[in-house]
Amino acid sequence: MTSADASQAAPDPRAAPAAPSVGVIYNPRSHRNQGRDLGLDVQTNIFVAQPEGAARLKEALEGFAARGIDYLIVNGGDGTVRDVLTAGHDVFGDAWPDIAVLPKGKTNALNVDLGAPPGWTIGAAIAAYATGRRVVRHPIRVEALDGGRPAMLGFIFGAGAYTLGIRAGQDAHRLGAFDSLAVGVTTAWGVLQALFGSDRNLWRRGVETTISLGCEKTPLPHGPLGDPARRHLMLISTLERFPAGMKLFGDIRSGLKLVAMDHPKRELLLSIPAIVAGRVPAKAWDWGFHQIAADPIEIAIADEVILDGEAFPAGRYRLASGPALRFVVP
């Protein structure tokens, strides 16, 4: 059994109670929740919170922990999951309850990886506690080395053209494109900009970036093209499957993974359809394309970074694997 198979079939050491104690974090602002109620009957074993802001979110999770919940349901998109995991890191540490995520946001990349159905409801998720599979994933623990911000937990960290793509994605959302469609639209737009623009174009300019790998902090080498102080794109994740069927990290499936592009050489950009399908041309490595598994990873970057759809300031960051979380899927 491979490591990926093992994570899909991790045994549950606890006997599932007939009626688990359930805590529900419900984000009414999530795209697919707007204008909809919870759809839950009153039950003594289910506790619902709709906290506003990080402080209230942490208070809600502390309340769930005090009740000894068996099961945490997050009703919201990737950004809501990031906020819940970040707020709950000091509450649960390495001893989280089982978690289910309902894909209610504009983007739901985590649920694509987990394989939960797009129309999953709270009631169905509660029923799945006794019968569903457990899928283990480690979020990325993102620490700002410049200080001033608590560590965050999330699943997709990116910079450079990825940051530009997220900004463009907001336009795609306004046009009605969500989930895999939004990913495909913004990826295609970014490739076109980089392919046909001049080096003055934001999509070709790159961002001043340094990347260090592992405990030894080995510098990631820069290819022969472009400014050696700048990188075009960087993406880091612990997910194993991605929207639109993209195989961004090739055959690297589990753990903390990085993909980077040093310079948008047009031949490399024209190879992107093959790369995201898992077929990397041999010359791509010579052109400054990288697919690497490393833990931890340190970066210093001169532009905003993105963690699960939200922008955070330029600076120095350390990324490492976070706690093992057990996600329930049907």
Average pLDDT over residues 116-136: 91
**pLDDT for position 144:** 96
User: Does residue 307 have a pLDDT over 90?
Assistant: yes
**pLDDT for position 172:** 40
**pLDDT for position 194:** 56
Give the domains, in start order, of the chain with CATH numbers. 3-138+325-329 (3.40.50.10330), 156-307 (2.60.200)
Q: Which residues pair with 318 in a beta bridge?
A: 143, 298
3-state secondary structure of 316: strand
3-state secondary structure of 236: strand
Q: How confident is the model at residue 4 (pLDDT cuts 50, 70, 90)?
A: very low
Q: Are 264 and 272 in contact (CB under 8 A)?
A: no
Structure token digits, residue 7: 């994570």
CA distance 218 to 76: 38
**pLDDT for position 98:** 98
User: Does residue 16 have a pLDDT over 70?
Assistant: no
Out of 22-36, 118-132, 268-282, least confident range:
22-36
**pLDDT for position 272:** 86
Q: pLDDT tens across 186-225, in order?
A: 555 555 555 555 566 666 788 999 999 999 999 999 999 9
**Mean per-residue pLDDT over the chain, rounded:** 83
User: Does residue 287 have a pLDDT over 60?
Assistant: yes
User: Does residue 9 have a pLDDT over 80?
Assistant: no
Q: Which residues pair with 261 in a beta bridge?
A: 233, 289
Give the 3-state secondary structure of 126-166: HHHHHHCEEEEECCEEEEECCCCCCCEEECEEEEEHHHHHH
If we measure between CA atoms, which residue out of 250, 230, 58, 259 comes closest to residue 156? 259
Backbone angles phi, psi at 312, to 5 degrees: -130, 155
**pLDDT for position 28:** 67
Q: Is the pLDDT higher at 228 or at 43?
A: 228
The residues near 181 (Cβ < 8 Å, ≥ 6 apart) are 172
Q: How confident is the model at residue 121 (pLDDT cuts 50, 70, 90)?
A: confident
User: Does residue 108 have a pLDDT over 50?
Assistant: yes
Q: How confident is the model at residue 165 (pLDDT cuts 50, 70, 90)?
A: confident
CA distance 221 to 146: 24
**pLDDT for position 209:** 97
| Cα-Cα-Cα-Cα dihedral sign, residues 249, 252, 255, 257 | negative
User: Does residue 299 have a pLDDT over 90?
Assistant: yes
- Which string of b and e fits 79-93 if b means at least 16 CB within 10 Å? bbbbbbbbbbbebbe
